[in-house]
Structure 1
């Protein structure tokens, strides 16, 4: 018998975890339905942030007397959270959302997850069971947060390795956790039975900075640490007494910028890379058909996202089995990155020195005027030689990197100062034909920019010759690409390569 009944509008389920003094006894729970989403208050429940783990590994729990199989990592979390004497009220997505429902409940609840985490009294981050030196790692981090004057004290190698091993856990790599901690007002981090306050955890890491020699962790840890640290400063999210907005969001950044920052993080299915960020966006992706919908194909959703993030005045090719889009667009070259790097004055930000091209009238006759701009660190690092261009129909410039006969997208929406925005907004002619590749898994490819992309580019929709097995139009497409790329190099004044 299923423990689930249909959810009324504006409602969510909470999980009552019953106490037990016997740690080996079966886990007993009860599901409670409440009008949580329509409420204007926060409530005394804790929302769990965790990694689902392998589907093959499951353990049983009992809900209202009904047996329900959950994945091992969640089972371990519930075992460690269960109190000896006092019941605990939790929100756990794998249990509180009926994963087998076919009536749209899952989509509605996924849309509401930002609100659910924001209304919780606390968000518990479950990193997994204690292993190796994980207890030592948390203690060293806690001590560093308590004694900030030890900023210059060296971190011994054993402690550093213990912390790095902790930070390598899968929780820090997942994309859903960003929204979960971004919505929280109080965060507790738990590994086995060891616990640490979220703010203390981030303070200790900022003192120790054990990941400075690990570029992979530098890309993962600071963004999520920034969101955890900010929890204590967040106000309660209170709805309008008269009317609740149809869409709740944390309003952190436009979806395009969030995608630029976080698209390399992991999700079980590609669709969730979009849905996990939409609850944090300051624009309205729902209007573009990007609301949670698990019936849509990845190919179609990704195509909609490209048009929403860049422009709808382009041709986009996507595939169900690839996190890659091949884009044909018209553009205008604005400038070239002459130098770039991490902003030493603001952690988590990068700078780019840009030499502007094709704009002498805007800069009062000064040729090749340059600007130094700082912006939020993106998943792909901006490098010297990258090109800043404005795509037809786009509201902001895009940064691309020139390859063989195409360019890869580094940043879809590059923020400009007000005066530069006026210049880009004045552009009405887009003389350059661009072939762009937007790859969300570039770092995992054996030959980025090589054979993998060549196959995708050739497999996009191209006119076919009516003569059987004739390749003339494919050859013409290749020649056209080379010609257009040569013109782009010419506009960049890279005459030798052109």
Structure 2
């Protein structure tokens, strides 16, 4: 049987395709549909009612066909999408929907880029957004019904005993809750319906139920901060969004944030295409993507996009080729201080001890910052630095011979002394330290550096890196650790130059003579 080939969309920027899912009384019958072009008209015009599907693609190698048009041409879709459409197909009437994998020609990079820029508008104009969590399995059986029960005002502690909290936790671990695109999809939605197998529940009731069970911060460490609360908040507010707005930028009922902040919060969420980890956040951002040269463009590589993003946030820094979702950055900078205490709820309350004389306005003081939850949790002893060219401080963590970026652009929600005037950071002119930084979009390495282990350096460059790390530790007044690093560096220099160096102690720190 022949495969389906897409025709080009009309050139108007508002044109999309809608899926007409054809009915069948036989639940086992093959899925059939038609695709039609549709123009998203101006806000003062009426729209045809359609539904938008929010789901996880699943394994791209596990596919089943859907048949398109009168000639029943095959279009391969993932098993998870096939299951969703099978559940949604009516026995008597066609259902009009927007589904990204079918309504966008995925083989046309130019069209993908254009359609991605319309996605917030597509979801905001949908009659409702259906969240498909997948088929029901044994480990989550009855979870949605229990959530519905817990949302009832008459829910009591006695009723709670019959709730299967483990099944609900398993449901909240479904991949949908970790997906990057869902943020935009439910942030723009007017009405959300949650669906798992044959069970449906209103999105608002779902949020009330989950919140009443107080599972947001007990489900697991991986989702306690960045996954559940943000999605629950967005779904809960769907009904408050205006049905029509003259200004498309006002469709979101959430506070728009700088792109760097959104990236810090959500970059560890999942996406089939890593480029979507940036593109999915653009319409939720305060920043102008055209000015940032970050418009959705699937003709460029992920590596190039990653570098553009880093340069947009930090300025023109030296970047080393980045494998997968990791980039190495070489930059000048200065140390400001160190994290002394962290307390968490839905935010992070961080005590900072300013140890560097670069921060003359609060040198020696300890102040508290309240920060939004970040994808990488801040830990005690993390380091606050300011990189040359950056407008905001960065939080980093020391590993063997580099610093991992924990939060790339720190934006305190509360202002301690010294933060009331951000230009104070911009007044710093001495960037005397050399940093080797790694920004890893996969989970950070869990093993911290062993401070007692020294390596036999055989390279002058590696010895120099160790020397620079020692100087940074000296700025943090960690003199004993700094001295050990200096000794390691000296061993490397001795091997590289085949000559002995002499240590001399000065002010508690031992520089190379």
Q: TM-score, normalised by structure 2?
A: 0.83
Question: Residues 58-457 of structure 1: matches in 2 within 5 Å?
Answer: 58-65=63-70, 66-67=72-73, 68-101=75-108, 104-132=110-138, 134-147=140-153, 150=156, 155-156=160-161, 159-210=164-215, 212=218, 214-219=220-225, 220-236=227-243, 238-239=245-246, 252-312=256-316, 314-319=317-322, 321-343=323-345, 348-358=346-356, 363=361, 367-416=363-412, 417=415, 419-443=420-444
Of 219-228 and 88-97, the range deviating more from structure 2: 219-228
Counterpart CA distance in 2 for 1:342 and 1:383 is 11
Aligned length: 461
Deviation at 1:262, TM superposition (A): 1.0
Deviation at 1:367, TM superposition (A): 4.9
After superposition, the C-alpha distances for 1:447-475 in whole angstroms (9 at most, x for unaligned) are 6779xxxxxxxxxxxxxxxxxxxxx9x82
In 2, are the aligned partners of 1:406 and 1:435 still within 8 Å (CA)?
A: yes
SS of 2:364's equivalent in the other structure is coil
Q: Looking at CA atoms only, which structure, 1 or 2, has the larger radius of gyration?
A: 2
User: Which of 32, 51, 54 pairs up with 1:28?
Assistant: 32
Deviation at 1:172, TM superposition (A): 1.4
Deviation at 1:270, TM superposition (A): 1.5
Deviation at 1:355, TM superposition (A): 1.6
SS of 2:422's equivalent in the other structure is helix
SS of 2:40's equivalent in the other structure is coil
Counterpart CA distance in 2 for 1:362 and 1:337 is 18
In 2, are the aligned partners of 1:250 and 1:282 still within 8 Å (CA)?
A: no
**5+ residue gaps in structure 1?**
451-471
In 2, are the aligned partners of 1:148 and 1:207 still within 8 Å (CA)?
A: no
In 2, are the aligned partners of 1:12 and 1:37 still within 8 Å (CA)?
A: no
In 1, are the aligned partners of 2:334 and 2:358 still within 8 Å (CA)?
A: no
Q: TM-score, normalised by structure 1?
A: 0.85
In 2, are the aligned partners of 1:331 and 1:392 still within 8 Å (CA)?
A: yes
Counterpart CA distance in 2 for 1:71 and 1:361 is 54
Counterpart CA distance in 2 for 1:487 and 1:97 is 53
Deviation at 1:378, TM superposition (A): 0.3
In 2, are the aligned partners of 1:114 and 1:250 still within 8 Å (CA)?
A: no
SS of 1:295's equivalent in the other structure is coil
Of 367-376 and 260-269, the range deviating more from structure 2: 367-376
Residue 374 and residue 404 in structure 1: after superposition, are their counterparts in 2 closer, same or farther (change >3 A)?
same
* 1:46 matched to 2:51: yes
Counterpart CA distance in 1 for 2:469 and 2:77 is 53
**5+ residue gaps in structure 2?**
451-456, 483-513
Residue 368 and residue 481 in structure 1: after superposition, are their counterparts in 2 closer, same or farther (change >3 A)?
same
Residue 433 and residue 51 in structure 1: after superposition, are their counterparts in 2 closer, same or farther (change >3 A)?
same
Which one has the bigger helix percentage? Answer: 1
Residue 420 and residue 154 in structure 1: after superposition, are their counterparts in 2 closer, same or farther (change >3 A)?
farther
After superposition, the C-alpha distances for 1:214-273 in whole angstroms (9 at most, x for unaligned) are 212324322222222222222346345xxx89xx99873211111111111111222121
SS of 2:222's equivalent in the other structure is helix
In 2, are the aligned partners of 1:340 and 1:351 still within 8 Å (CA)?
A: yes
In 1, are the aligned partners of 2:151 and 2:206 still within 8 Å (CA)?
A: yes
In 2, are the aligned partners of 1:331 and 1:432 still within 8 Å (CA)?
A: yes
Of 38-47 and 257-266, the range deviating more from structure 2: 38-47
Deviation at 1:362, TM superposition (A): 5.5
Counterpart CA distance in 1 for 2:120 and 2:432 is 43
Counterpart CA distance in 1 for 2:44 and 2:357 is 52
SS of 2:58's equivalent in the other structure is coil
Residue 43 and residue 368 in structure 1: after superposition, are their counterparts in 2 closer, same or farther (change >3 A)?
farther
In 2, are the aligned partners of 1:318 and 1:324 still within 8 Å (CA)?
A: no
Counterpart CA distance in 1 for 2:159 and 2:459 is 61
CA RMSD of aligned residues (A): 2.7
